[in-house]
């Protein structure tokens, strides 16, 4: 009788051990399978092996409509674009809204990993260009009743308002025969123009359109004088970023976003009226 009980106990122990081994194998297999699925998903999103411990930091111009904070929420053309990049890469981010000139300093110092600025020889030398975000046009406006310009030479000798720290592309930046008056906001420039303190005001078309919609100017108060090819908005990675491995991830993500899509139209605001279709 005792032998039978002992044999039954031993048999039970063998069954328990076998069950434990089977469960352990199932758990290990499940972990491997889940890891493979996660790795495959990461590769599909271009994030394999490069998930940072902290969010990717962006320095973005606070010039409207590129970047702004409304009731504690970041909004604007470039904010929407950052959100699109997050969807493509799966990488979290944080945004700091800065004066445009400060965006350059953040990129140079490594204060920010990424930033959006107009292409120029200097920035291309001092930061890593990831790719093109959009092409822009530059609009020049004057007081009501002004005669439209035929070329940049019509600005000769005039006082022209320009956004502080901004570049407007080769055609405009190479022309020097005018008096540059730096302004901090489009509203300031439009107000000075309407008060007769400026002969003309220049800005990228999205910026000027936004300013017109949100200024005290009425339709007919200003005249569109000239539209020229503007600078290219580029996405840049700081050479001092602590996570240089994200260069490839964002380059591929930007290529996917640009594939067959007109980002300039998709992320630009619509004009306020048919009187200012720049």
- For residues 120 and 240, the answer to whether their CB atoms sit within 8 Å is no
Tokens of 6: 């002992």
CATH of domain 56-134+233-270: 3.40.190.10
Q: What was the pLDDT predicted at 18?
A: 53
- For residues 190 and 200, the answer to whether their CB atoms sit within 8 Å is no
End-to-end CA distance of the chain: 101
On the question of a cis peptide bond just before residue 36, with omega within 30 degrees of 0, the verdict is no
Q: What was the pLDDT predicted at 265?
A: 56
Could you list the pLDDT tens digit for every one of the 278 residues in the chain? 545 544 554 454 544 555 454 445 544 544 444 344 344 444 444 444 445 468 999 999 998 899 999 999 999 999 999 999 999 999 999 999 999 989 999 999 999 999 999 998 899 999 999 999 999 999 999 998 999 999 999 999 999 999 887 889 889 999 999 999 999 888 889 889 989 999 999 999 888 888 877 777 776 888 999 999 999 999 999 999 999 999 999 999 999 998 755 555 555 544 433 333 33
| Same fold flag, 56-134+233-270 and 136-231 | yes
The conformation of residue 21, written as its DSSP 8-state character, comes to H
Boundaries of every domain in the chain: 1-44, 56-134+233-270, 136-231
In sequence order, which ranges of the chain are alpha helices (DSSP H)? 2-44, 77-89, 100-109, 121-126, 170-173, 186-194, 205-213, 246-258, 263-266
Q: Quick one: which of 86, 69, 116 has its CA closest to 231?
A: 116
Strands 114-118 and 56-61: parallel
Q: What was the pLDDT predicted at 175?
A: 93
Q: What was the pLDDT predicted at 16?
A: 52
Query: Thinking of the domain 136-231, which architecture would CATH place it in?
Result: 3-Layer(aba) Sandwich (3.40)
């Amino acid at each position: 009788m005792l032998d039978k009980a002992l044999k039954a106990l031993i048999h039970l122990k063998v069954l328990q051990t076998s069950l434990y081994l089977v469960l352990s194998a199932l758990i290990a297999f499940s972990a491997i399978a889940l890891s493979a699925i996660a790795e495959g998903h990461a590769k599909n999103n271009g994030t394999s092996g490069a998930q940072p411990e902290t969010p990717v930091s962006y320095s973005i111009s606070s010039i409207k409509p590129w970047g702004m904070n409304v009731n504690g929420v970041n909004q604007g053309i470039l904010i929407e674009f950052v959100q699109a990049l997050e969807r493509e890469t799966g990488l979290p981010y944080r945004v700091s809204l800065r004066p445009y000139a400060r965006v350059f300093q953040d990129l140079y110092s490594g204060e920010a990993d990424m930033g959006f600025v107009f292409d120029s020889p200097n920035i291309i030398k001092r930061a890593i260009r990831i790719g093109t975000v959009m092409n822009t046009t530059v609009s020049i406006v004057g007081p009501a009743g002004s005669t439209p310009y035929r070329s940049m030479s019509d600005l000769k000798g005039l006082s022209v308002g320009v956004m502080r720290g901004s570049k407007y592309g080769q055609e405009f930046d190479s022309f020097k025969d005018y008096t540059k008056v730096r302004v901090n906001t489009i509203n300031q420039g439009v107000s000075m123009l309407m008060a007769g303190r400026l002969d003309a005001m220049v800005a990228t078309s999205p910026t000027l359109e936004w300013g017109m919609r949100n200024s005290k100017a009425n339709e007919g108060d200003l005249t569109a004088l000239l539209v020229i090819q503007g600078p290219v908005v580029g996405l840049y990675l700081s050479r001092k970023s602590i996570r240089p491995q994200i260069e490839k991830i964002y380059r591929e993500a930007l290529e996917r976003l640009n594939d067959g899509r007109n980002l300039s139209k998709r992320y630009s605001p619509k004009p306020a009226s048919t009187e200012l279709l720049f």
